[in-house]
A and B are shown apart, each in its own frame.
Chain A
């Protein structure tokens, strides 16, 4: 692990991770972005002068305590909200967002949910059928297409949501604590699934979590964020060999170092 200590909001592009995909073009280019909410007494700075570049096919995790603006940043990248200042460039890349809560539509079956994503992209009916079957197979939900979301377990629902995200044929997938509500065992298997899917589909992933170990387990690069106001604290390239597991001693060790850094941060703010 190499630490790229940067002064907040100033991530020098020349210091960008020279890893195996370091030559890929920048997919998400965040420059000097701030986001403020409210006015007067309720005025808060959710995100201050944040800059970050994510390269194509890179898996980046954003980690921090609640209130560090990581979800705000995700919503800004997704275009659900607009920055108060600064720019976010994703070029003509398609951006999809996967939420923590299961947001499959309860009035549709699993396959109708996936098909709707295709339909809204203008895919014709015959192609929709085939592609839906393919995607459900990919997330190991083949044969369960006729089920409604409430008939599926939490893990299956999130796999369904993943299939729907993949149906959007997005270049950049934003994930907001997608496995946060799952039990540890289901979450571990979802990590494996995600890794497998990423080996089959080219994806750029920005993944938000408050679980440092999950970030080390999954990411090529982990961004630690600090709160009050939210901004990038430091960046760390995770160059551990894959496949990784939550229980790997190396994963635990790196997670420990990052956690120590975050704890200092939290302590400073509590004091």
Chain B
């Protein structure tokens, strides 16, 4: 009798256990992995679009101000067949790329300089963090005054001011937080002078540096959008410019379509940085499970 009741209990408790082992700790296939990370995102997008559609159905605003998702996506499909659309993306991405490259060089050099010099650290160390809290759009009036409204350098200037502090901070905290035992080990191995940086300090600082780059990109992209809304060069189509034009001409479907493009590009680039960061962290055993 007691055996009869005990047996099914044991079997039942094995059920969930077996499932956990196969889905959590086993090695699922690539497709299953991609699906596992994809479906929550798809669900979130679906819910967002559903809310949007319900708002449209509720007739909160007339459709020429708040078009339905279907209208916007078909407009986006039409836009994607125009040359202007791709020229806008190209110009904006080029600006973003060049601005980020400048920020990268400037931020990295600044970070290394501050981490190495006590005077510099005391002088500008806290100012770098302070600069991060300053909304980059607040720099534009000054940048326009200095460089002129029709000078693309005004935008570059603001991008670098927005992104470089994050990158510099990534470098500084990365170098500051190299575990002392690794430094001593490197010293004993003969990694001194420039080799100390090449073989110990910089590799050790890499995860923090990558986090700084990722944050720097987010700041650069925001500054760029703000800049393109304000600084518009004659004859140049840009994503921010197209956004501004759609507002001026009350083309709500264009406007939302460009916003979606801006969101997607920002997320894609961020996704690339995340992928690199995760890869580095996993290789070093810094992640909980994946290592």
Among B182, B189, B286, point to the contact of A168 (Cβ < 8 A).
B189
Known: A116-B199, A148-B284, A148-B285. A105 touches B182 (CB 8 A): yes
| B291 near A150: Cβ-Cβ < 8 Å | yes
| B203 near A103: Cβ-Cβ < 8 Å | no
| B184 near A106: Cβ-Cβ < 8 Å | no
The distance in angstroms between the C-alpha atoms of A90 and B49, with both chains bound, is 74
Residue with the greatest number of chain A CB neighbours at <10 A, chosen from B182, B189, B291: B189
A41 proximal to B (CB < 8 A): no
Cβ of B44 to closest chain A Cβ, rounded Å: 33
| A103 near B284: Cβ-Cβ < 8 Å | no
B195 proximal to A (CB < 8 A): yes
B230 proximal to A (CB < 8 A): no
The distance in angstroms between the C-alpha atoms of A78 and B190, with both chains bound, is 12
- A83-101 near B? 1/0 per residue, CB < 8 Å: 0000000000000110101
Q: Which of A48-89 contact B (CB under 8 A)?
A: 78, 80
| A107 near B206: Cβ-Cβ < 8 Å | yes
Interfacial chain A residues near B182, Cβ < 8 Å? 103, 105
Interfacial chain A residues near B286, Cβ < 8 Å? 106
- B115-142 near A? 1/0 per residue, CB < 8 Å: 0000000000000000000000000000
Interfacial chain B residues near A105, Cβ < 8 Å? 182, 185-186, 200, 203-204
| B191 near A120: Cβ-Cβ < 8 Å | yes
Q: Which of A145-180 contact B (CB under 8 A)?
A: 148-151, 164, 168
How many chain A residues touch B (CB < 8 A): the figure is 21
Known: A99-B184, A103-B182. A120 touches B285 (CB 8 A): no
A237 proximal to B (CB < 8 A): no
Among B187, B189, B190, B285, point to the contact of A80 (Cβ < 8 A).
B187
Task: Name the CB-closest residue of A to B183.
Answer: A103
Task: Name the CB-closest residue of B to A95.
Answer: B188
A121 proximal to B (CB < 8 A): yes
A117 proximal to B (CB < 8 A): yes
Known: A107-B203, A120-B190. A149 touches B285 (CB 8 A): yes
Q: Which of B43-94 contact A (CB under 8 A)?
A: none
Task: Name the CB-closest residue of B to A117.
Answer: B189
Residues of A within 8 A of B (CB): 78, 80, 96-97, 99, 101, 103, 105-108, 116-117, 120-121, 148-151, 164, 168
A-B contact pairs, 7 of them (CB 8 A): A80-B187, A96-B188, A103-B182, A103-B185, A105-B186, A120-B189, A148-B283
Given contacts A103-B185, A106-B286, A150-B284, 13 further A-B contacts (CB under 8 A): A99-B185, A103-B184, A105-B182, A105-B204, A106-B285, A107-B203, A108-B203, A116-B189, A120-B191, A120-B195, A120-B199, A148-B284, A149-B285
Q: Which 4 pairs show the lowest CB-CB distances between chains A and B?
A: A150-B285, A103-B185, A120-B190, A106-B284
